[in-house]
Chains A and B, each alone.
Chain A
Amino acid sequence: MSSATTTLRAPASRGSGSRLSRHFKVSATTGLLILAAAIVVAPIYWLVIASSKSTSQLFNTSTFLPPSHLSWIANFKSLFSYGGSYFGWWLLNSFIYSTVTATLATAVSTLCGFGLAKYSFKGRGAILAIVLGSFVVPSTALVLPIFLLEHFIGLTNTYEGVILPLIVYPFGVYFMSIYCADAVPDVLMDSSRMDGAGELRTLWQIARPILMPGMVTLFLLEFIGTWNNFFLPLVLLGSQKLFPVTVGLSAWSSALNIAGAGQPLYPEVILGSLVSVLPMLILFPFLQKYIARGLTFGAVAGE
Chain B
Amino acid sequence: MSQDTVGGATALSVPALARRGAQRPVSPGRRLRAKEGRSGMVMTTPFLALFAMFFVAPFVYSVILSFKSPLTGAYSGLLNYRSVFSNGAYWSAIVRMAYFGAIQVTVMICLAIGLALLLDSPYCRGRRIFALIYFLPYAVPGVIAALMWSFLLEPDLDSALKVPQLLGLASGPLQPLSFRAALYAIMLIVTWEWTGYNMTILLTSLTNVPRQVLEAAKVDGASELSIATRIKLPMVRRTVVFVVVLSIIGTLQLFNEPLILNNIASTGSSLAPNQIIYNTAFSFGNQELAAAQSVILALITIVATVVFFGIARRRGNPLGTTKAVAK
Contacts and interface: CB of A to CB of B under 8 A. Distances in A.
Contact of A164 (B6, B50, B59, B140): B50
23 contacts: A29-B123, A33-B124, A36-B115, A40-B196, A50-B157, A59-B156, A64-B160, A112-B47, A112-B48, A122-B37, A141-B294, A148-B287, A149-B61, A168-B47, A194-B13, A194-B20, A209-B5, A235-B278, A266-B151, A280-B139, A292-B204, A299-B239, A302-B242
Nearest to B293: A144
Interface in A187-207: 187-188, 191-195, 198-200, 203, 206
Contacts of A281: 136, 139-140
A136 interface: yes
Nearest to B111: A36
A242 interface: no
Contact of B242 (A36, A138, A254, A299): A299
Contacts of A30: 124-126
Interface residues on A, range: 35 or more
A115 B39 contact: yes
Given A63-B159, A141-B59, A250 B143 contact: yes
Contacts of A36: 111, 115, 130, 134
B147 A144 contact: no
A138 B253 contact: yes
Contacts of B204: 292-293, 296, 299-300
Interface string B257-288: 00110011110000000100110011000010
Interface of B: 1-2, 5-6, 9-10, 13-14, 16-17, 20-21, 32-33, 36-44, 46-48, 50-51, 53-55, 57-59, 61-62, 65, 111, 115, 118-119, 121-126, 130, 132-145, 147-152, 156-160, 192, 196-197, 200-201, 204-205, 208, 224, 238-239, 242-243, 249, 252-253, 255-256, 259-260, 263-266, 274, 277-278, 281-282, 287, 290-291, 294-295, 297-298, 301-302, 305-306
Contacts, number: 320
Given A46-B148, A47-B148, A281-B139, A296 B192 contact: no
A269 to B, nearest CB: 6
A146 B62 CA distance: 9
Q: Interface of chain A, helix or strand or loop or mixed? A: helix
Contacts of B59: 137, 141-142, 145
B89 to A, nearest CB: 18
A66 interface: no
Interface stretch (A68-76, A78-86, A224-232): A224-232
A93 to B, nearest CB: 14
B287 A277 contact: no
Contacts of B238: 299, 302-303
Contacts of A145: 57-59, 61-62, 65, 291
A144 B277 contact: yes
Contact of A299 (B33, B201, B291): B201
